[in-house]
Amino acid sequence: MVLTSGERTPSGTVDVVDEQTPDVATALGTFLEVADSVHPGLVEGLYVVGSYALGDWIHGASDIDVVVVTAEPATDDDVGSLRTVHALLHERQPLPRIEGPYLAWGDFVVEPATGLHRPWVLDERLHHDGDCFEINPVTWYTLAHYGVVARGPHPSRLGLPTDTEARVRFVIDNLRTYWTTLATDLEHSCAQQTDARFAASSFVWCALGSLRLHHTAFTGDVTSKRGAGLYGLGVAPDEFHPLLHEAIECRATGEHGEIGATRMVEAARLIQWVIDDVNAASA
């Protein structure tokens, strides 16, 4: 399969020890083959967003974040077909995981609605029972400006609205809700259990994730986890720089191993700095 990019070409892929895991093009080719065999014609568009589109996909560690497009909003029968698709896909190709929402072409003509119910896949589970977080202004912008085409017209032809104010408002709200709770819970957990160990992937998420939102709040653009770490070295206080260097290295080498509570507390404090800095600017 040949993938074609939007404004930027994916780069910076780092191979780690997992020779059995297919690359992105092969994995998406398998997905389309399975989908077309189960329900011919259902999948009309397939676009890669997330780390691959942003040049930060780590072979053997990263998921493939996608936006899948059907002609009309998926019916209950369509969802039944999709369950079969993902069950077969898991048997044939468990990794890398392919995750994201199933949208209709008509969904792209307006700003994404938080109450839009569409099928979506996360952690190998197909959901059709609530709101999909990935239906948001950041996904729309990433698709419009960085989206990689596996099937369908170029993202520039989709007419995606990418209002900067809506995108910035979304990340500020996310910082004030999810990330504020995460920072508080993380500090409390580490205080209760000082010898706790955390997955390296959780460390990378906590150390770099909120900085991605800081980047969007101040620039309007989106960036990857690695990009957020490099950005953080330019904007965050010096006290956080050792943490950022460690998180960037951990990301580059596949997010393996465990991290102690001390580092996670520092990550929680970095999250709080991000929240405070964005709140001060938005006030």
Q: How confident is the model at residue 14 (pLDDT cuts 50, 70, 90)?
A: very low
The domains of the chain are located at 24-157, 164-282
DSSP string over the chain: ---B-SSS-----B--S-TTS--HHHHHHHHHHHHHHHSTT---EEEE-HHHHTT--BTTT--EEEEEEESS---HHHHHHHHHHHHHHHHH--SS-EEEEEEEGGGGGSPPPTT----EEETTEEE-SS--TTSSHHHHHHHHHH-EEEESS-GGGS-----HHHHHHHHHHHIIIIIHHHHHHHHHHHHH-TT-EEEHHHHHHHHHHHHHHHHHHHHS----HHHHHHHHHHHS-GGGHHHHHHHHHHHHTTS-SEEEHHHHHHHHHHHHHHHHHHHHHH-
Residue-level pLDDT at 20: 76
Q: How confident is the model at residue 10 (pLDDT cuts 50, 70, 90)?
A: very low
58: pLDDT strictly greater than 70: yes
Q: Are 155 and 135 in contact (CB under 8 A)?
A: no
Residue-level pLDDT at 114: 64
Q: Considering the chain, what percentage of its residues have pLDDT values greater than 90?
A: 87
In angstroms, the CA 127 to CA 70 distance is 16
Query: Which range, of 7-16, 60-69, 77-86, 88-97, averages the lowest pLDDT?
Result: 7-16
**Residue-wise pLDDT tens digits, 75-105:** 999 999 999 999 999 999 999 999 999 999 9
Query: Which range, of 5-9, 66-70, 76-80, 82-86, averages the lowest pLDDT?
Result: 5-9
In angstroms, the CA 193 to CA 185 distance is 12
| Angle of helix 200-219 versus helix 261-282 axis, rounded to 10 | 10
Q: Are 105 and 13 in contact (CB under 8 A)?
A: no
What is 24-157's CATH number?
3.30.460
Residue-level pLDDT at 3: 61
Residue-level pLDDT at 5: 54
Q: What is the pTM of this model?
A: 0.92
**Residue-wise pLDDT tens digits, 94-145:** 999 999 999 999 999 998 976 788 999 999 899 998 789 999 999 999 999 9
